[in-house]
Structure 1
Amino acid sequence: MRRIILERFNQGDLARAYDLCLAATAQYPDDGWFKHRAVLCLVRSGALERAEYDFRRFRLAEASHDEDSLALGARLRKSMALEASGSQVQALARVAAGQYDRIFAQTGGHYPGINAATLYLLAGDRARSDELARQVLGSCRNARPVEAEDAYYRLASQAEAHLLLGDAGAAQMALQSAIACDRDNTMAHATTIRQLRMVVRLLQLEAPWLRDLEPPRPCHFAGHLFRCAVDADGIAPAREAGLALTLADAFERERIGPAYGAIAAGADILVAEAAISRGNELHLVLPVPVNVFIDASVRPLGGKWVQRCEACLSSAAAIHEVTTDRKLLSGEHIRFASEVAMGLARMRASALATSPVQLLICEDAASARRFGTAHDRNVWSEAGLDQVMVPVSGLERYRAAPGDAGVRDPDFEQVLRAMLFVDVCGSSTVADDLVPVFVKSIMRVLAQVCERIDPAPLHANSWGDGLFLAFHGVDEAARAADQLRSAFSALDLSALGLPDGLALRIGGHYGPVHEGEDPLRRVPTLFGGQVAIASRIERATVPGSIFVSAPFAAALAMASGSEFRCEYVGQTAIDAYMPDVGMYSLRAVAADCPAAQDEAASAGRA
């Protein structure tokens, strides 16, 4: 059983792992491993209230001899503190600091020690923070790590301890040494930089060197389609070579790392080749499957674009086909893929504690189209993010017309929609005599929330214990999901006589769908494979949390500021007949919480 749970957990299938943990806990009530892992599933999925409930229900805080359980409790309190608002921050930080402090007293390990020291600072106890920081420095001096990662964390803890004591110079030297020990561990570097930024903010220090030690910046790229030199109106070899040099200079000057975009003939391929030549990660985001995209946006431009495209495809770190459609039906598909690519770049930058940049090869001219390079430029600019423009003019551009207007059905329209499926998990355990109570006290409350949502959902439907809602944008859908979750969390199930195991789970997805009339109900509704994906995501959601797809999370990254956080859960199997879906946990955070302030600091360059 443990092996299966770990497999599900490591593969990001947290809903299944959590269910298996609960089943095993019922079968083996004295085995604390299953209880610990169940709460860990909830913490990782972002269901912090549910995690707190299970942590108390399983009495894990009483396992004082179990370091893992103690660390789990401290981690839960730390997560709550970093997302709390106002006076709650210090109270929760003090509890988490105390738990880490006790672990440090038992083990002497620098990891719980430095967490305790920083959390005491967040709680307003500078004296205890300084005392622990000095003890951590002593613990680090006595450690003799063998592995590169262990050496990194020892030096990173030293850097944090020095900064807590106000010695920015020593902190800089320690962090530089840490990164030198494990240069490729950029996620670890980002975690450390984010923690140090919080210390800098709390102590009102100056640490401009932190920016210089950030990981390379993720980039979104886009540009015009143009023909090869073999055509009369194509780009000449000398001019293409000049563009390549300009791109290489931009990559170096802007410290560009992972690159996200499409692979159409012309500008896209030039940027992709520049990324590959430098050894950068290349993430290709396509509106349709590869073969369909090549036929629509590469092959018609002639020359050697197809061969060059295929070479880039073979070197790409990842290829995201955001739909399985057999044709590039509309500009909405292109816009959808661009929004996902931009959002993935921005989310990657957030994960790496740095700021993203957009690299464009285009004319400096406006466009009224709702998709394409000019649209991408406007979306990025409106988000206040850095842009690098590589001007190109005098070329005969190729303007593809997506889709075949002759096959469109006038009764259906291709639109982009954000969709939510909502379900009350455990409703089958409600006794038949309590069904009226369930409907009046739970479903009616959820319906009342839906009535107050502003702007109202474009589509709304219910069945039994479930709801389906659709919106223009992901920001509207995210706010609706959080309002529904909060309303359910406020219910006192015990007072209502309902099972305390009931929990709300919400799945969200964003994509191009067909909007048309429902033949049975004679009202407008949504059809298509993206609707099916949204429904399957809800089934894979951990009770008490909101899970959304990568397209939803990416679009939200471009649509909102620090109002919501989306944290990667993993690739999850949602259906035997569908590909696995990259899943994210979504939750709202207060604008003045430490997590939001540190998130804003990571984009300070922009």
Structure 2
Amino acid sequence: MTPGEACESIRTHLARGAPWDACDAFREAIANHPGDAELLYWGALAHARAGAGSRAHALLDEAQESPQSSTRLADILSLRGRLWKDAFARAPEHPAATATAQRARDEYLAAYALARDQYPGVNAATLSMLLGDCDAARALASEVAGLLAAQAAAATCWDHATAGEAALLLGALDRARESYAAARALAAQDAGTIATMRRQVNLLSRVIPRACKLLEVLPAADVLAFAGHMIDAPDRSPPRFPAALAPAVAAAIRERLARMHLPVVYTSAACGADLIFVEAALEIGAEVNVVLPFDRGDFMRTSVAPGGDGWVARFDHALSRVARVIMATEERYLDDDVLFEHAAMLLEGLCVLRAAQLETSPLLLCVVDAAAPGRVGGTRASYERWARTVGTPEVIDLQRIRSQFESDPRATGSVATPAPPPRSMEALPSTPSAEPGPLSVPRPQRTLKT
């Protein structure tokens, strides 16, 4: 891969709001092209968006020392400004916050003086406003607006965003809304680009409270973790998720996904609810990230094949289409259920991190039977952990769907209104039951992903 191709790969990851993937792409590329200033700059930006400020500063030092740095100097100074701005945004009440904001503004002003580029100009204006220097902020914003109005080339997404920010600083909220709406239209499916705009608007809302209204035209992507029960083995008694309920569960999942904007999802891929969810998410073009707890062959044997050969084929087809398969560990299963718990916690953590990156709140959707006993690493454990540490999960009540089917088997193929959470899940105890569930022979110790 050439440096140019590597930079394009990094840009693509950043546009969709996946800076950690961008960092991985950078590390692989820089090993083959050490000292490339352009690559170092994009690597620094990836690390900045991932929150690795110290590493980003170090990469910018390397880029600035490169013989090629002259063509990127204004961008390097702007990115240094962004790093100091991020540090200020993380701790605005810190005793050193004012000095940090001043340092950010100085870097942006230096970049603006070099190239008269609108981007560092409007950022310098924003930092001035945050520092209470309203006159300087408005003067810079007016200058930037003039530069944008005078340019001959068609406006890009970032041009519109910059115009929106300048208008906001000048008190023209309606004009700012129009510009941000135009920026969003050009950003299309780039959730990371929208998140960057939202971050800047949120920052300005500290001194311009009306700025929050602009977030309505910059909707964030929905970031969703999923957990759900496996399909029942033929000999399971009492039934929990018999195969006959699959169409109703699929309908309920599709209905929930249809409400979401640019969904980014994290899930496992066991037979039953997991794979039904993966297929439904792929149908609507969601970014699907699958987390497997251990060796793929062992996972198929223990958590996919028990549903029957049809599930194995669905597993292989689905995983060939997802955005990423993440191995929580490469080791064998060896009857160690803690690997399921580890994978579930990794999946949930990735969801929380990605939501923060995309300036939104993470969600958890569970397909769960509140009356069924819980197991280590299972759906109940995920529900309870999320409720304790993040917020209230959304629930598709498997018990209710099963009751509807038992009363009218013809209704299971189309559930118009998904079941609400079962009494907000009060039926679930605060800790998972230690009671073992029914086992299926001749499988290993448990039905694994539950």
TM range (shorter): 0.7 to 0.9
Matches within 5 A, 1:409-488: none
Q: Distance in 2 between matches of 1:360 and 1:350?
A: 21
Q: Trace 1:191-590 onto structure 2 (pairs within 5 A).
A: 191-205=196-210, 207-211=212-216, 213-227=218-232, 235=242, 237=244, 239-255=245-261, 257-302=263-308, 304-365=310-371, 369-393=375-399, 394=402
Aligned with residue 173 of structure 1, among 164, 173, 178: 178
1:11 to 14, 25, 28: 25
Deviation for aligned residue 1:187: 0.9
**Contact 2:187-2:193 at 8 Å conserved across structures:** no
**Of residues 55, 71, 79 in structure 1, which corresponds to 2:78?**
71
- CA pair 315-69 structure 1, distance change in 2 beyond 3 A: closer
Residue 89 of structure 2 aligns to which amino acid in structure 1? L
* Secondary structure of the corresponding residue to residue 274 of structure 1: helix
Q: 2:137: which partner in 1?
A: 129
CA displacement at 1:194 relative to structure 2? 0.7
Instruction: Check the 8 A contact 2:60/2:76 in 1, yes or no.
Output: no
Q: 3-state SS of the aligned residue for 2:105?
A: helix
User: What does residue 117 of structure 2 align with?
Assistant: 109
CA distance in 2, matches of 1:166, 1:367: 58
Aligned to 1:157: 162
Partners of 1:227 and 1:235 within 8 A in 2: yes
- Report SS of the residue matched to 2:361: coil
Code of the aligned partner of 1:163 = L
Measured after TM superposition, the shift of residue 209 of structure 1 is 4.8
Distance 1:78 1:401 in 2: 59
Once the two structures are TM-superposed, the CA of residue 181 in structure 1 deviates from its matched residue by 1.6
Distance 1:315 1:64 in 2: 42
CA–CA distance in structure 1, aligned partners of residues 354 and 145 of structure 2: 32
- CA deviations on 1:329-370 (whole Å, 9 max, x unpaired) are 312100111111111111111111111211110012485644
1:321, distance to aligned residue in structure 2 (A): 1.7
Q: CA 1:310/1:131 → structure 2, altered by over 3 Å: closer, same or farther?
A: same
Q: Specify the alignment match of 1:452 in structure 2.
A: none
What does residue 52 of structure 2 align with? 46
Cα separation, partners in 2 of 1:210 and 1:369, compared to 1, 3 Å: same
Change in 2 beyond 3 A, CA 1:374/1:211: farther
Secondary structure at the aligned position of 2:320 is classed as helix
Aligned to 2:434: none
Residue of structure 1 equivalent to 2:18: none
User: What is the CA-CA distance between 1:153 and the residue it aligns to?
Assistant: 0.1
Deviations 1:297-330 (A, max 9, x none): 1112226222222221222111112212222531
User: Structure 1 pair 110/41, CA: closer, same or farther in 2 (3 Å)?
Assistant: closer
Per-residue CA distance 1:364-398 (angstroms, 9 max, x = gap): 24856442111101111112335210001249997
- TM-score with structure 1 setting the length: 0.55
Report the Cα offset of residue 296 of structure 1: 0.3
Counterpart of 2:419 in structure 1 is none
Runs of 5+ unmatched residues, structure 2: 8-21, 407-436, 446-450
Report the alpha carbon displacement of residue 281 of structure 1 after superposing the two structures with TM: 1.6
The one-character-per-residue Cα deviations of 1:436-489 (angstroms, maximum 9, x if unpaired) are: xxxxxxxxxxxxxxxxxxxxxxxxxxxxxxxxxxxxxxxxxxxxxxxxxxxxxx
Partner SS for 2:132: coil
**For each residue in 1:105-127, what CA deviation from the matched residue of structure 2 results, as whole angstroms up to 9, or x when unmatched?**
44222111111111112222122
* AA in 2 matched with 1:362: V
Higher helix share: 2
SS of equivalent to 1:275: helix
Identity %: 26
Contact 1:287 1:333 in 2 (8 A): yes
2:236–2:438 CA contact under 8 A, matched in 1: no
Distance 1:194 1:16 in 2: 29
Contact 2:41–2:60 at 8 Å: present in 1 too?
Answer: no
Secondary structure class of the residue paired with 1:304: helix
Alpha-carbon distance in structure 1 between the residues aligned to 2:46 and 2:272: 46
Q: Aligned equivalents of 1:386 and 1:211: distance in 2?
A: 24
What whole-Å deviation, never above 9, does each CA across 1:501-541 have from its counterpart, x for those lacking one? xxxxxxxxxxxxxxxxxxxxxxxxxxxxxxxxxxxxxxxxx
Distance 1:50 1:209 in 2: 30
Q: Which has the higher contact order (CA 8 A, sep 6+)?
A: 1
Secondary structure of the residue that 1:12 maps to in structure 2? helix
Equivalent residues of 2:47, 2:55 under 8 A apart: no
CA separation in 1, counterparts of 2:396 and 2:135?
53
Report the CA distance shift for 1:145/1:15 in structure 2 as closer, same or farther (over 3 A).
Answer: closer
What SS does the aligned partner of 1:117 have? helix
Q: Secondary structure at the match of 2:207?
A: helix
Whole-Å separation in 2 of the counterparts to 1:40 and 1:255: 29
Secondary structure of the structure 2 residue equivalent to 1:202 = coil
1:260–1:341 Cα contact (<8 Å) kept: yes
Shift of 1:101: 2.2
Gaps of 5+ in 1: 25-32, 406-606
Could you say which structure has the higher strand fraction? 1
Q: Distance in 2 between matches of 1:301 and 1:185?
A: 37
Q: Distance in 2 between matches of 1:138 and 1:168?
A: 17
Give the Cα separation in 1 of the matches to 2:174 and 2:60: 44
Q: CA, structure 1 residues 236+329, in 2 after alignment: closer, same or farther (shift >3 Å)?
A: closer
**Paired amino acid for 1:134:** S
Aligned positions of 1:70-89 closer than 5 A: 70-84=77-91, 85-89=93-97
CA contact (8 A) 1:331 1:402 kept: no
Q: Which amino acid in the other structure matches residue 184 of structure 1? A: Q
